[in-house]
């Protein structure tokens, strides 16, 4: 089977992001289960604190070892002066070892949109994977992001490159795939006694959509605050595990609790891949809102996190992001647009919880099995 190098973004520099880790590990594990020789290539941005940087790198390499990638990780740091790249320094293996792997690799599967062209040139085949459908095309078309040419372009968006898209295709030929879930890592675990519907999310950021004709905040904070009153319309406990950092975040925490939400720091329950995994598997289901861009783009977006809930047999009640050819509404997953719809969906799940839990797992097995998704990528690129 092929040798595949995957190039994730911001995993090593975000050690407290257990969920972010899993976005890319689903691909790595799917490829490994197809028999591929998989390597992980990532850019590290040093903080200037040597002790801190060493601790971050040790945490990362330890994690990679637990997931079967010991000796398969290439971390590089790009050194520059006055904007000119001088060289890249490698951690995890020597430069010669890394260059040998680049040369023999059948495919670079790249998630780092701004990767430098000289890295792409080291590989015989390159494929970009778009995990921000709609947003990525918006950024490119507005000149807000420059993406170096790749040999292949994959997207997890159902409408990208189709006549139904509400955004340009940027002149690229997009192959549509589904976000993968490694089913072996996310076993079915039906627990009718589990109490809370939960989610894990970054709360606030500097994420804004800026265009000549509009400007809006594109955060989960804005999305959830529109449904602030939901706990008063349902008896179902709702819990948010949030990445909170600022004084404003603390004020929002109090506001959410005043309206009946349970709030926890994500660092307490989901800062490691294992904690994130356990938090989802011990939940009753997921309730989550979507960013405003997903609603405007109507891209039928579904979170990789939601798929982990569904794979675990946890029904999901999530905000509607546009017509989908594969996502049901009312069988394992419910898609809402209003407060009333959200409350009704939670009641419907609880009225027949076991049926919806099994339907959730079946949906992921049918459409989102990592082995099937990655087999599609390999067939179109190297086989």
Counted domains in the chain: 2
Residues 6+ apart with CB under 8 A from 366: none
Across the chain, mean pLDDT equals 95
Q: Is residue 273 part of a domain?
A: yes
**What pLDDT was estimated at residue 84?**
52
175 and 218 housed in the same domain: no
Q: Distances from the Cα of 216 to the Cαs of 94, 225, 366, in angstroms?
A: 45, 15, 36
Q: At residue 170, does pLDDT exceed 50? A: yes
Q: Is residue 189 part of a domain?
A: no
100 and 14 housed in the same domain: yes
Residues of the domain holding 19: 3-180+369-381
Q: At residue 222, does pLDDT exceed 70? A: yes
215 and 201 housed in the same domain: yes
How far apart (Å, rounded) are the C-alpha atoms in residues 135 and 274? 29
Query: Helix axis angle, 353-367 relative to 339-351, nearest 10°?
Result: 100
246 and 298 housed in the same domain: yes
Residues 6+ apart with CB under 8 A from 374: 27, 30, 31, 34, 36, 180
37 and 123 housed in the same domain: yes
304 and 358 housed in the same domain: yes
Q: Is residue 341 part of a domain?
A: yes
Find the CATH number of the domain harbouring 301: 3.40.50.2000
Query: Bridge partners of 107?
Result: 4
Find the CATH number of the domain harbouring 18: 3.40.50
**What pLDDT was estimated at residue 383?**
80
Q: Provide the b/e sequence for 262-290 (b: ≥16 CB within 10 Å).
A: bbbbbbebbbbbebbbebbbbbbbbbbbb
Identify the weakest region by mean pLDDT among 27-36, 58-67, 85-94, 290-299: 85-94
Q: Is residue 86 part of a domain?
A: yes
Q: Is residue 190 part of a domain?
A: no
């Amino acid at each position: 089977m092929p040798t595949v190098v995957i190039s994730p973004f911001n995993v090593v520099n975000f050690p407290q992001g257990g969920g972010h880790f899993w976005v890319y590990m689903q691909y790595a594990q799917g490829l490994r289960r197809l028999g591929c020789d998989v390597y992980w290539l990532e850019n590290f941005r040093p903080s200037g604190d040597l002790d801190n940087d060493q601790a971050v790198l040790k945490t990362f390499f330890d994690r990679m070892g637990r997931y079967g990638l010991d000796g398969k990780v290439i971390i590089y740091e790009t050194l520059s002066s006055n904007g000119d790249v001088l060289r890249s320094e490698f951690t995890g293996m020597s430069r010669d070892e890394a260059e040998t792997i680049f040369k023999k690799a059948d495919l670079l599967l790249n998630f780092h949109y701004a990767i430098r062209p000289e890295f792409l040139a080291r590989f015989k085949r390159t494929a970009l994977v778009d995990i921000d459908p709609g947003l990525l095309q918006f950024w490119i078309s507005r000149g807000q992001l420059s993406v170096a040419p790749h040999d292949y372009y994959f997207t997890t968006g159902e409408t990208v490159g189709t006549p139904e898209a509400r955004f340009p295709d940027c002149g690229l030929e997009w192959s549509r795939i589904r976000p993968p879930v490694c089913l072996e890592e996310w076993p079915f675990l039906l627990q009718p006694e589990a109490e809370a519907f939960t989610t894990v999310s970054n709360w606030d950021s500097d994420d804004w959509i800026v265009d000549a004709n509009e400007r809006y905040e594109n955060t989960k904070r804005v999305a959830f605050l529109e449904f602030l009153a939901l706990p008063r319309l349902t008896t179902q406990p709702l819990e948010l595990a949030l990445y909170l950092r600022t004084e404003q975040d603390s004020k929002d925490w109090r506001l959410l609790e005043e309206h009946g939400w349970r709030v926890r720091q994500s660092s307490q329950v989901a800062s490691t891949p294992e904690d994130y995994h356990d938090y989802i598997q011990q939940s009753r289901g997921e309730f989550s809102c979507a960013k405003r861009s997903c609603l405007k783009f109507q891209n039928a977006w579904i979170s990789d996190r939601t798929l982990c809930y569904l794979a675990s047999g946890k029904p999901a009640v999530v905000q509607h992001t546009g017509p989908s050819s594969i996502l049901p509404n009312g069988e394992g997953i419910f898609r809402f647009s209003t407060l009333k719809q959200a409350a009704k969906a939670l009641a419907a799940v609880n009225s027949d919880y076991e049926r919806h839990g099994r339907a959730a797992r079946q949906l992921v097995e049918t459409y989102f099995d990592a082995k099937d998704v990655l087999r599609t990528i390999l067939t179109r690129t190297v086989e």
